[in-house]
Structure 1
Amino acid sequence: MTTQPTPAPTPRTGRPAPAETSPDLLYSDTEDDLRAAVRSLLTDRADLPATLARAESGDPYDPALWTSLTAGIGAAGLLVPEKLGGQGASHREAAVVLEELGRAVTPAPYLTSAVVATEALLGCDGHSTESTDVAGLLTALASGHRTAVLALPLTTAPDAPLPFTGTDPEGAATTVRAVAEAVRADVLLVPRADGLYAVETAAPGVTVEPLTPLDLTRPLATVTVAAGSGVRIADAATGESAVRRGLLAGAGLLASEQLGLAEWCLEETVRYTRERHQFNRPVGSFQALKHRMAQLWLEVVSARAAARNAADALATGDPGAPLAVAVAQAYCGRVAVHAAEECVQLHGGIGMTWEHPAHLYLKRAKSDESALGSPGRHRERLADLADLPGPG
């Protein structure tokens, strides 16, 4: 009888390398250690009562927490190569950080700056002959000393038509609504007809007006940028490719944030229904509630597989990454909303109060569901990528 040779262990995980067609959905020891570090930090510095208090104040950010997360743990530089001051890690490790940030519904510009903007800049680095500022900005983002956001609405999907790809009227200012976490950003990455520009938020002619968002932990703003401001960091073709690269990575890793959110909601609901008694029995022992939580557990497990598949596809440069991202976003957004709704409902009266954090999770879940493309849009994209027939 012949046996197949055991594949050599991969340097990153120490486990046998998976087949080329099989994604690695398991967490490595390194990823588990990173999770433990981030969770410990958030437990000590970002408890839910403090998060709620900051959200009510109108300024949800904790600068000291961001410094600890970026400079202390090095999370902001996970996607940045070591030669530019980053960690040289992958989307898998960044996904772990986002899972923990989702579990704690932490107000931090990690998705927008350390993932979306960083990926867009990486798409320009090495291709831009217009400016040498890309490498310097990546280094600053990796250290956490600066943050950047794409000047696009939060709802922009990876395959959506991009604003400013046409010819702007000469001398006209650019106004974009619903830009996530622009109030926290130092630099705006602005797509224009002739390329991608890096614009300082403190520059003349730039205004950032806060909006009232559904999710108080992820502020939105209307951004106005005067024509001619900023430094061009990529030509039109490279800039559009870089922006789409950033949006694709953001959509793929947003699924990990949604996964973390759903896991917290499920675990908190199970804990509460085990402790809450009615008729001298834990309410969690009632069959109807058991069935609801069991169904939610199945959905969360499936969401974990979809999110990990998307992160692994992005990390390995799999040509099928757009398909994996479409699957993750078509599924994980709905699961996160369902988990948050069940958390509110199965907590009974206390779940409807402002003092309980369940509403923070529900609002983040609803906001995430429309971020970087709705589930419906991703289902349409999935059908196109898989060459499925349309209705009728």
Structure 2
Amino acid sequence: MEFAFTEEQAMIADTVRAFFAENATSARTRAAMKATGADAGFDRALWHAFASELGLAGVGLPEDHGGAGLGILELALVAEAAGAHVAAMPLLGLAMVGRAIAAGGSDVQKSEWLPGLANGDVIAAAAWGEGLHASGGLLSGTLSFVPHGGAADILLVYTGDDAWLVDLRGEGVVATNHVTMDQTRPLATIVLTEVGAEPLADGTAAMAAALAAGWLCLAAEALGGAQAALDRTVAYSRERVQFGRPIGSFQAYKHRLADMMIEIEQARSAVYWAACAIDEGSDEATLALHAAKAFCADTYHMCAGNMIQLHGGIGFTWEHDAHLYFKRARSIMSMLGDSQWHREQVARLILGAVA
């Protein structure tokens, strides 16, 4: 099989790479990390330019509700470019909630929420609510570790039986941000006290779409971050001189870079395979998603660790961006299922098919 981007996809990839390179700078990311309250870990100016000026928030949403009507492959291209710069914005929530409403929401729910998500006016987050109590359309309970939960306007909650949409701007909602390892994607605790919630028309379809989008978004972010870690390390290897030679000329150094490149190319294939499988409705989509999330997360973690080590002493400092990549890589490994869990799902799917 020969895979190639269409002209439109190549243009999207070029556009988002240029946008994040210009706007998601280290200085702006660090400023977002220092912010407090709802803006903690959130570059709102970056989000506004991303969503309103370029219209990129609607890439994976239906056209008749304000989106661009494109597929999840285009969403993956956006996530890859954002991950390459550790962008401090709630892309994961947008991907999960937007795709969930598009797949399982009623016509009224789509009309009410999708336009706001597509233009960036509505910030979304997703969570699992095993401890929530539902009674008469009201939800009560505590949700932990909600990505960008402190900034969210709408929350998608899956209780095991139903998928609910919760407007976080009303009464009975208390969101508390926490200082977490990855400050570019802060986690919040959200306490709901008899808050009105609306069940999605098809909760099963909604959560399947949310998980698919979440896994692919994280895998694509990991791919972009791993590639950036390699690119920055290669650039440093050409500039840093020891014993009268660029350090990149030493064999041991080159071997580490080669290992990173090989893993990244496999991760790239995994992301595009999963994205194409979803867009084409392939029976392999679930298998591909689990494989992509596990492999890309592990690859990013390895590349970010090598980035720190191959930069030597400066790589361990707060002033260098290497730690931003490592922290994002570590958080991706544990979000929406760790790599071991995803590999177990791959094994079950393969062994079940053989049996």
Report TM bin, short chain.
Answer: over 0.9
TM-score, normalised via structure 2 length: 0.92
Matched, 1:107 2:93: no
Match of 2:228 in 1: 264
Q: Which moved more, 1:58-67 or 1:84-93?
A: 58-67
**Secondary structure, aligned partner of 1:284:** helix
Q: Secondary structure at the match of 1:163?
A: coil
Identical positions, percent = 36
For residues 68 and 54 of structure 1, what CA distance do their matches in structure 2 show? 15
Which has the higher mean CA deviation after the structures are superposed, 373-382 or 25-34?
Answer: 25-34
Q: 1:252-299, CA deviations, whole angstroms, 9 ceiling, x for partnerless residues?
A: 232111000000000100110111000000111010111111111111
Q: Distance in 1 between matches of 2:333 and 2:247?
A: 30
**Is 1:241 paired with 2:205?**
yes
The count of corresponding residues between Structure 1 and Structure 2 is 350
Structure 2 gap ranges (5+):
none
Look up the SS of the partner of 1:136 in the other structure.
helix
Match of 1:121 among 101, 112, 126: 101
Choose the corresponding residue for 1:94, options 75, 92, 109.
Answer: 75
Calculate the TM-score normalised by the size of structure 1.
Answer: 0.84
Partner residue in 1 for 2:350: 386
Partner deviation per Cα, 1:168-217 (whole Å, 9 max, x = no partner): 58987221100111112111122347633222212111111111211000
Unpaired runs of at least 5, structure 1: 1-21, 153-161
1:138 aligns to what? 114
Whichever residue aligns with residue 49 of structure 2, its letter is S
Q: Residue 149 of structure 2 corresponds to which residue in structure 1?
A: 182
Instruction: Choose from 23, 38, 42 the match for 1:45.
Output: 23
CA distance in 1, matches of 2:239, 2:114: 48
Instruction: Provide closer, same or farther for how the CA distance between residues 223 and 384 of structure 1 changes in structure 2, counting only shifts above 3 A.
Output: same
1:77 corresponds to 2:44: no
AA in 2 matched with 1:282: P
Are residue 163 (structure 1) and residue 130 (structure 2) matched?
Answer: yes
| 2:219 counterpart residue number | 255
RMSD: 2.2
In structure 2, the residue corresponding to 1:255 is in which secondary structure? helix
Task: Determine the structure 2 residue equivalent to 1:64.
Answer: 45
3-state SS of 2:181 partner? coil
In structure 2, the partner of 1:332 is 296
Q: How does 1:8-27 map to 2 (within 5 A)?
A: 22=1, 25-27=3-5
**What secondary structure sits across from 1:174 in the alignment?**
strand
Higher deviation after alignment, 48-57 or 115-124: 48-57
Q: Which amino acid aligns with 1:221?
A: A
Aligned residue for 1:302?
Answer: 266
* 3-state SS of 1:145 partner: coil
Alpha-carbon distance between aligned partners in 1 of 2:135 and 2:346, rounded to the nearest angstrom: 36
SS in 1 for 2:70: coil
Measure the CA separation in 2 of the matches of 1:352 and 1:359: 7
Letter in 2 for 1:91: I
Letter aligned with residue 198 of structure 2:
V
Partner of 1:156: none
- Asked whether the 8 Å contact 1:383–1:389 carries over to 2, the reply is no
CA–CA distance in 2 between the matches of 1:56 and 1:294?
36
Q: Write out the 4+ residue segments of structure 1 that deviate beyond 6 Å after TM superposition.
A: 169-172
C-alpha change, 1:172 and 1:184, in structure 2 (3 Å) is closer
